[in-house]
Structure formats: C-alpha cells, structure tokens
Structure 1
Amino acid sequence: MAAKKPKDQNNLALHKVIAVGSASAGKAALTLQFMYDEFVEDYELTKEGTYQKKIVLDGKRVQIDILETAGQEDYAAIRDSHFRSREGFLCVFSITEMESFAATADFREQILRIKDENVPFLLAGNKSDLEDKRRADHWNVNYVETSGKTRANVDKAFFDLLREIRARKMNGGGGGGKRKSSAKRIRERFCNL
C-alpha cells in the first residue's frame, strides 16, 4: 500500500519555471541559492536539473518546479519541448559579460516563437557582487540584479516571476500562443549599450 500524501500536497499550486541563459551566466548558482541557500564555487552542471521546493508566496503555500537547462537550449527539439512545458522564464545574463547579455535577445526570440509575448519573463543581471566589472544594462521587461554568490535578490527574482505566473493564471492567460511580430522588434527593445 502506498503511503498517503499530506492533505495539502495535492492542493498546492504548482508553478513551472525554466532558467535560461548563456553558459557561465550563473543560472545554476541562482537556482542552487534559491533551493539550498548555498553558493558552490566550482559547480559544473553537465546536464539539466529539475528542482522542486515548497515555499510561501504572499502568505500562501505553493510549489515551484525549476528546470535548469545547462546548455541544452542549443538543441531545438529539446529547447522547444522545455519552453512549451514551462509557465515562466528566468533569463539570466552576467553583468560582466556583454555576450551573455546579447544572448538574452536570442533566448527571448526563441521563447516568443512558442509562447505569447505576455508570458511571465524576468531578466536577471547576475553577478552583481562584481559590480565594478559591469558591462551590460537592462531592456524593457521586468528586471532584477542578483548574485548567486552573495544571494543578493535571489529570492526576489524567483518570487517576482512566480507572482507574474500566478497573475497570468488568475487572468486566464494560457501562454501557449505564438507571437506574431518579428525578431527585429524584440531586438529594438534593447537599450543602447
């Protein structure tokens, strides 16, 4: 006989998030800080990881399911499947690497081919503990600067994204529609660097 789950286990709202970004932007560092309150200096993720955690969001217990992709975004079939199955996107770049910021436009474009433009999306400028090495600015979406090392704004990034997901669910938005405008329009949203 299978063990019974606690009564509230099945009643918790589940919010499915994916962390995307270029290699070494700090996706794993942010995810591990959020999950376990720790920074791993020499962490090398070679395959995707899924993490689940029960949290209290604005006074209500919810469950978050985070997929950290470890570079599998380069494989279109895997990427598209992951993007379809997720409700919110944490797009991470390093404030010290211009290339990782530039890559966020490609990630956003890939997401918008599968989801509509109102999909919950948070841009996280990571490595704020290296502020003196900053090389990037943000674009016109929700934005927060984080540090996987010092834990600065790690909870804020995930909780802000969860609030967007919840608001979208409450407004009946499915997030499955395709975006009709072109990639050029996405790139125009970037600030001049």
Structure 2
Amino acid sequence: MNTTEKFYLPVDGILEMFNSLTGHHQSHIMHPVLQSTVLAPVLQHPKVSNISKTGMGIIKTVQGRWSQQDKRVVTSRSSSSGNEQVSTDRLPKTSVDLLELGLTKHRNCQRIVVLGAPKVGKTNILRRFLGKEFEEHYEPTTEDFHRKLFHIGGEAYQIDLLDASSERDFPAKRRLSILTGDIFLLVFSLDDRDSFREVCELLDEITTAKAKLLKLKNPARVPAVICGNKVDLEAERAVSRSEVEEVLGEDVSFFETSAKDGSGLEGMFSTLAALGGLPGETSPSRHEIISILTYQSLCIGQRGRRGSRTRGLGAPCAAVDPLARRPSFTSDLRMVLGSSTKQKKPEKCQIQ
C-alpha cells in the first residue's frame, strides 16, 4: 500500500462511519478531493478497526457539533414563534406545582375551568393563552389540563387551565370540576344559537353549585367570563351582542373574540386575570415565554438557593409545564372538602 492509500484509508472509513451513525449523505460531507478518488475496495469493506483512536475522537467531535447545530435550529425556530423549547431529555421528571414546592402563595394559584359546547373554539383559545398558534384542523377534545407558570415582579404565579369538554354528558364529574374552579371561561360560537343556550345553562349551574358549597342563601356573582367566539364569521352570526346582554345582564363580562385572528382575546385574558386577582402581565402579549428549566432556576434563584443569572425581577416571563396533568378526582374531592374535613363530622360533597 502506498503513502496516498495509507492517508485516505482511515479518513474514508471515518466518513463511512459518519454516514452509518448519523444518516448524513456522504456527498454532503466529503471533501472534493475525496469525492474524486475512487477507493472501491475500501468502500466495499469499511471496518471500524481501520479507524485510529484519533479518528474516533473526530467522529465524536463532529457528532457533537451536529447535535449542537440541530439544537440551535430548534431554538431558532421556536424563538421566531415566541416559544422557547428544550430537548425532551432535559425536561423535569415531574410536573411543577408551585404551591406544593412552597414557591408561591395560595392566592397566586388559580384554576380556570373552561366549559362550552363542542366545536366553539375552546381549544384554540387555550392555545392562544399558552402562546401557541391557531390550529385549523379540528379534533374533539376529551379533556385538556394545562399549567402556565409566571414570574412577575419578583413573585411566582400559577394558572391551571381545565377544559372539561369530556364531562358534558357526566353531570357529577362536571359538578366536581365546577366546584374546584376559581374562575370560569364559558365559550359559545356566535354562529351557533344552541351553543349560546348551553352557556346560559352552564352559568346557572355554576352559580347554584357555588352557592350550595359556600352555603349562601342568595347566589353570589360568579367570577366568569362569557366568550362569544368566531366573530370573524360575521356573515354567519346567529347571536347578537344586544341579545347576550339582555339574557345575561350587563354585569356579566362578555367578549366577542376570534381565536383565529386573535381579536378580543387580549381584553378577555386581562379580565380573567382581574377576576382571579392576578397581575395584568399574565396576558400573553405582556410576558416572554421561557423554558420550564429556566423558570425553575429563576424561582430557585429568587429564594436564594442559587444565584439568579437569567433575568431581572422586572421582566415578566412565563413557562408552560409540559408534564402537567389534572390532579386525581380524589385530590379534587379533598380540595373541595378541605374546610369540612376539619370538623368532627365531615359534610357530604354536593356533586350530584
């Protein structure tokens, strides 16, 4: 074997290893000199043993560079859409509950229960709140539970979002969801009169359930926002604003929105925050989306366990918990019966 062959043999073997380990096409990484050199015997019998330790080191280095490049591409794409993502192998192993971790106060944690007829746009409204894009394709929602964590003015906030669509035909389960809710978002479609009637019935059900739980003689005002979605379909409108105000009263917070073009959503989100005693910066346009890992380090740094080097306290930011799951029905029952269990004879939860 001459000197030239001894030089090209390990290099060509390394390139073959790149192809087998990464799936990259050889023509994209071969040097022009190597492309013009025909080494048929070597290409037919590439062996790992032909690669020196130095060659293996080159393989690992290039693979690492490719991995970093892929991550930069993902970060670049996510930054352009307003979302910061991390690889799945770096995600937390469990969901983040600020209250259980002692990272916030009880009043800073609110659960928003979303109710309404099918196909009115509930899922896309929630997507907008989570900082995601409108999804044109419709898929029936069984049950969605989301958790968005905020860091505003040096304090941590947690908003849980429960889309209880699957409980439409299960009154007891729906009643439990209602009793665990702090704020309610009732959605109907402006081109569907039946969906508006359903919202009216749901509002009455919420009012009655909360009054019974709190033992109120007269029903109190429910912290609810009524959303007439699909205002972009003006030509197909079946429910007018005046009709909504006449049926529900002028004291009800009502917004005409479009999950598709975003109109009306900002005011609706701000009102939801106000009803829950949350800062206005929880509205999607008023904070920056960061990764869940960055958020965790920020909260830990705020408590003084680590130095926070990510951002200042005056920069509102939020993260979506990718592992959030709805608490078990047992946990929800305990939450509802929390005040009663301290008594000698716990009262029966009125969810029927």
**TM-score range normalised by the length of the shorter chain:** 0.7 to 0.9
C-alpha contact 2:257 2:263 (8 A) present in aligned 1: yes
**Further displaced range: 23-32 or 52-61:** 52-61
Select 1:142's aligned residue among 253, 265, 274. 253
- Residues 156/71 of structure 1: CA separation in 2 closer, same or farther (3 Å cut): farther
Calculate the TM-score normalised by the size of structure 2: 0.43
Q: Is 1:97 matched with 2:208? A: no
Higher RCO structure (Cα 8 Å, ≥6 apart) = 1
What residue in structure 1 maps to residue 103 of structure 2?
A: 10
Partner of 2:143: 48
Secondary structure of 2:158's counterpart equals strand
Partner of 2:233, secondary structure, is: helix
Report the structure, 1 or 2, having the larger strand content: 1
2:343 aligned partner: none
Partner amino acid, structure 2, of 1:21: G
2: distance between equivalents of 1:52 and 1:151?
21
Gaps of 5+ in 1: 168-175, 177-193
Query: SS state of the match for residue 128, structure 1?
Result: coil
Query: Higher helix proportion, which one?
Result: 2
The two structures, once aligned, show a CA RMSD in angstroms of: 2.9
How many Å separate the matches in 1 of 2:265 and 2:161? Answer: 13
- Number of residue equivalences: 166
The CA deviation at 1:9 is 7.2
**Contact 1:54/1:61 (<8 A) preserved:** yes
Partner of residue 133, structure 1: 236
Question: Following TM superposition, by how much is the alpha carbon of 1:5 offset from its aligned partner in structure 2, in angstroms?
Answer: 9.2
Amino acid at match of 1:82: S
Aligned-partner Cα distance in 2 for 1:133–1:20: 23
Larger Rg: 2
What amino acid does structure 1 have at the position aligned with 2:221? N
Return the offset for 1:45.
3.4
Q: Which residue of 2 aligns with 1:164?
A: 275
**Per the alignment, in what secondary structure is the counterpart of residue 52 of structure 1?**
strand
The CA distance in 1 between the partners of 2:271 and 2:206, in whole Å, is: 19
% identical equivalent positions: 27
Structure 2: runs of 5 or more not aligned: 1-92, 212-219, 279-336, 338-352
Matched, 1:107 2:202: yes
Deviation at 1:46, TM superposition (A): 3.5
